[in-house]
Amino acid sequence: MANGRFAPSPSGPLHLGNLRTAMLAWLFARSSNGRFAMRMEDLTTGAAPVAEAEQLGDLAEIGLTWDGPITRQSEHAERYRSALMQLEDEGRTYPCFCSRREIREAAAAPHGEVGLGAYPGSCRTLGSVERERRAESRPPALRLDAGAAEVQVTDALKGPLTSTVDDFVLRRGDGVAAYNLAVVVDDAAEGVEQVVRGDDLWTSTPRQVLLGRLLGLPIPNFAHVPLVLGPGGERLAKRDGAVTLADRKALGETPAEVRAALARSLGLAKPGEEPAMAQLIARFDPARLPVETWAFHAGR
């Protein structure tokens, strides 16, 4: 049994790529007789009841069910404070005053210490006097002192990945918990054992595994699924036309037809079939899932 979850940000309607990932997360959990939870990752959006209701409605229309109440990151600030206090007490954090521009410029410099996009540790060794001076003009973010730890993760679909973890942000300058901290703490608190999500998040996984280990939390299994692409070859977005369930319904398609199209893209249905989600469980085999992206054309 592997308990799973789907955790969208309530920033607007889900597109078909989101629905496809949700379907896969549901199938991973249900095919192993696991629980399936729904969490709103609303730290950056704040309360968005309209968007949340639209998303939950779309998921229900294509046949997804979930266990227990909906959880929301905005309700769990105390969880994140407790985790930060543990890391601070162990000397694993430091304040960072760098702007995004300064980080980009430092990471791109030819010093060879870190990869492009990784934090180069500019604020790690600042003394207390300099920290106080900088704090007068900029509220600091809080970073993990990762100690250049090398972490290996094995994904159910993508195989192994070994990465040197940089000093990533745990709390933003505005005091809000960063995604990597929140998702690790929430998954552990909510008993999530299998994380299924888009493979655009694959390279951030070693960060989350390291953080979970430092906090003494159970580490879930991971399955990063290929993204859905739009007609231009980039990840599907609302600009690509009729890509939401509401859009497809406006074109005359039923939720069952949309579900069938998603199932066909995963090799779980044949043309002309409209299987229910319960029927897909018996057909589901992670080893047979397509590893390539699916290109969706809104006119079809």
Map out the domains of the chain as residue ranges. 4-75+226-295, 77-186
Question: What mean pLDDT do residues 165-180 have?
Answer: 96
Choice among 30-34, 43-47, 184-188 with the minimum mean pLDDT: 43-47
Residue 222 marked ligand-binding: no
Looking at per-residue pLDDT, the higher value among 99 and 184 belongs to 184
- The single-letter DSSP state of residue 31 is T
pLDDT of residue 5: 98
Question: What mean pLDDT do residues 251-278 have?
Answer: 96
pTM of the model: 0.92
Query: Could you tell me what percent of the chain has a pLDDT over 90?
Result: 77
Interior/surface letters 80-110, b for 16+ CB within 10 angstroms, e for the rest: beebbeebeeeebbbbbbbeeeebeebbeee
Query: 299: pLDDT confidence band, cut at 50, 70 and 90?
Result: low
Q: Tell me: pLDDT of 82 over 50.
A: yes
Cβ atoms < 10 Å from Cβ of 212? 18
Residue 7 marked ligand-binding: yes
**Half-sphere exposure (Cβ direction) of 61: Cα atoms closer than 13 Å:** 20
Q: What DSSP letter does each residue of 209-234 carry, written as one string?
A: HHHHHHTTPPPPEEEEEPPEE-TTSS
**Are domains 4-75+226-295 and 77-186 of this chain identical in fold?**
yes
Question: What mean pLDDT do residues 9-31 have?
Answer: 96
The CATH homologous superfamily for domain 77-186 is HUPs (3.40.50.620)
What average pLDDT is seen over the chain?
91
Residue 123 marked ligand-binding: yes
Q: What are phi and psi of 274, to 5 degrees?
A: -135, 65
Residue 119 marked ligand-binding: yes
Residue 8 marked ligand-binding: yes
Q: Where are the alpha helices (DSSP H) in the chain?
A: 16-30, 49-61, 77-89, 100-108, 128-135, 179-189, 205-214, 245-250, 255-265, 277-283
Which pLDDT tens digit goes with each residue over 97-131? 998 887 777 655 544 344 445 888 889 999 999 99
Q: Which CATH architecture has domain 4-75+226-295?
A: 3-Layer(aba) Sandwich (3.40)
Are the C-beta atoms of residues 235 and 60 closer than 8 Å to each other?
no
What six digits make up the tokens of 254? Answer: 């039923």
Cβ atoms < 10 Å from Cβ of 12? 15
Q: Tell me: pLDDT of 197 over 80.
A: yes
Which pLDDT tens digit goes with each residue over 217-234? 999 999 999 998 888 778
Q: Tell me: pLDDT of 162 over 60.
A: yes
Residue 96 marked ligand-binding: yes
